[in-house]
Amino acid sequence: MMQPILWLTLAAIHAMPALAFFRPATLTSLYRLQPDNPLFLLMHHRAGLFVAVFAACIWAAFVPEGRKLAVLVVGISMVSFLALYWQAGSPPALRKIANVDLAGLPVLAGVAWLAFRQ
């Protein structure tokens, strides 16, 4: 019963960025991007990828066979962002996002251990 809760926690972490795919105005509040900025389209696409990460978490919460793949998808998303964030000198504008991902790493480690322990 613990795994679904952990996966739903990871889904919650990715819900807001995924929501931006369906409500692009969220990109302005999350990232301070205006619709006329060329990066807006790129971030809107990125939000679509977060829909996939969110869906992987929901799927893994209820379908044990999908958990190993979901660990990889979520892990690549979270760890790559944190690595790039630190490599870029930890930009203050992205600190909140980095802190949320950092807080989610123990949850990710837990589901990874449970998924691959066999």
Q: Quick one: average pLDDT of 77-81?
A: 97
pLDDT (tens digit, 9 = 90+) per residue, 50-59?
999 999 999 9
Tokens read off for 58: 């929901």
pLDDT (tens digit, 9 = 90+) per residue, 6-25?
999 999 999 999 999 999 99
Question: Within its chain, how far is the Cα of 118 from the centroid?
Answer: 26
Residue 108, Cβ density class (10 Å: 0-12 exposed, 13-18 middle, ≥19 buried): buried
pLDDT (tens digit, 9 = 90+) per residue, 27-52?
998 788 999 999 999 999 999 999 99
CB burial readout 5-21, b (16+ within 10 A) else e? ebbbbbbebbbbbbbbb
Q: How confident is the model at residue 86 (pLDDT cuts 50, 70, 90)?
A: very high
Tokens read off for 111: 């589901």
pTM comes to 0.91
